Amino acid sequence: MKKLSIVLLAFVALVGFNACTSDDDVVFIANPDAEGIHFTNTFASTYDLTEMEPGDVVDRFVWNEVDFEVSTNINYEVQGALTEGFENPETLGSTSINNLDITAQQLIKLVAETELDENDMTTVYVRVVASPGTAGEMAHISEVESFTIVVPTEPEYINLYMVGDATAAGWNPDNNNTPLFRDAENANIYYYTGKLKAGGLKFVETTGWAPQYGSSEEGVLTYRETEADPDPAGITIPAEGYYTVVVNTKDLTYTLEPAPDAADKKTYEMIGLVGAGTTVGWPGDDNPTPDIMLTKSAFNPHIWFTEDVVLSEAGIKFRANQDWSVSWGGGVNFPSGLATGDDIIVSKAGTYNVWFNDVTGRYIFIEQEAAE
């Protein structure tokens, strides 16, 4: 009887063990959602990104929640492509909920390598993919939606050069005229601090007499678009000295203020340009003074310039007297800006004429067109 009880107990234990094992081995199988997945928001036909900041939200994409009839995390991935067939899809973003904010930067990045049409417009295709878990199996893919985006283009910078008997160039618009230094953030604002003689001052965009800015009254600019338009009067500089000129071409205004302290600023024997973005590189033990030397203006000892400098996309700096005791950078501000301690990061390789003001630390790199 005792032996029978032991056998019976062992049998019960074995059955219990198998039951526990079976419970642990239960597999929950996801099933397709008959409704599938689809966008529920209304798309605009065109999204204009030209006035948007990179982080601005263009639209919120919304879709229905997918039910795979199983308790599991669902990953929703919004994909974008430049072809309806999605041959090369890019992930715009992913989430575990049923909506996603799409930013200007995400769409601009999608079309970054695309040659846009003459209106800087292109068609973008989007879809949303839902997958249970992380394996990406049993993915549900929505129908494709499309819309047009208008993207911001690289700004076409306008340069302004000083002309007139108050300037080094005299009344000659093609005489190595000193440029104004364009603001790094507002391309309509220009600066100059330096010497001017008593006389007249105008601003030209090219080596000709139009487009041109003169003045109809104190503080007000007059724009001359073509040489067929009336020639405006110049700005009057009352006496030789140092001045700060600020020009706003959008508002058609200017200010002219004496800057006597500028005349007393330290002058330098030499100023050069160095860095990985130049053809000479950074100074090293094997070549401590590789500087591309700038020429000091004979008219104004604080204005420096050089021509046809080849730059690549890397860091550069100005420095005085081929030494690091005094140097000027500029950070991400290119092709114009105000000196900081950081390297100037060249954002576009090319050949440039370079101008630098050691009083204000302002600089401008003027791209030169390649010879045909």
139-149 pLDDT per residue, tens: 889 999 999 99
210-231 pLDDT per residue, tens: 999 999 899 999 999 999 999 9
Q: Which amino acid is at 230?
A: P
> Which residues lie closer than 8 Å to 31 by C-beta, 6 or more apart?
68, 69, 70
Nearest to 358 by CA among 193, 117, 175: 193
Backbone angles phi, psi at 164, to 5 degrees: 135, 165
> Which residues lie closer than 8 Å to 237 by C-beta, 6 or more apart?
166, 196, 197, 198, 199, 200, 201, 243, 256
Give the tokens for residue 273: 């340009």
Domains 46-150 and 266-372 share a fold: yes
pLDDT on residue 318: 98
CB–CB of 125/84 below 8 Å?
A: yes
Going by pLDDT thresholds of 50, 70 and 90, the confidence category of residue 346 is: very high
pLDDT on residue 308: 98
Coil, strand or helix at 52: coil
What is d(CA 182, CA 184) in angstroms, rounded to the nearest whole number? Answer: 6
Q: Is the pLDDT of residue 27 over 60?
A: no
The CATH code of domain 156-264 reads 2.60.40.3620
pTM over 0.75: no
What is d(CA 78, CA 39) in angstroms, rounded to the nearest whole number? Answer: 10
Backbone angles phi, psi at 229, to 5 degrees: -80, 160
User: What fold, for 266-372?
Assistant: Immunoglobulin-like (2.60.40)
Please state, as a whole number, how many other Cβ atoms lie within 10 Å of the Cβ of residue 257. Answer: 9
pLDDT on residue 227: 94
For domain 46-150, is the CATH number 2.60.40? yes
Nearest to 140 by CA among 64, 62, 49: 64
93-134 pLDDT per residue, tens: 999 999 999 998 899 888 875 655 545 889 999 999 998 865
Q: Is the pLDDT of residue 194 over 60?
A: yes
Coil, strand or helix at 181: strand
234-288 pLDDT per residue, tens: 999 999 999 999 999 999 999 999 999 999 999 999 999 999 999 999 999 999 9
Q: Is the pLDDT of residue 57 over 60?
A: yes
CB–CB of 99/60 below 8 Å?
A: yes
Q: What Rg do the C-alpha atoms of the chain give, in angstroms?
A: 33
Please tell me what DSSP assigns to residue 44: P
212-217 vs 241-248, strand pairing mode: unpaired
What is d(CA 249, CA 254) in angstroms, rounded to the nearest whole number? Answer: 8
Q: Is the pLDDT of residue 21 over 60?
A: no
pLDDT on residue 91: 93
Higher pLDDT among residues 143 and 4, named by residue: 143
Going by pLDDT thresholds of 50, 70 and 90, the confidence category of residue 26 is: very low
Domain residue extents for the chain: 46-150, 156-264, 266-372
The kind and range of the H/E element at 327 are strand 327-328
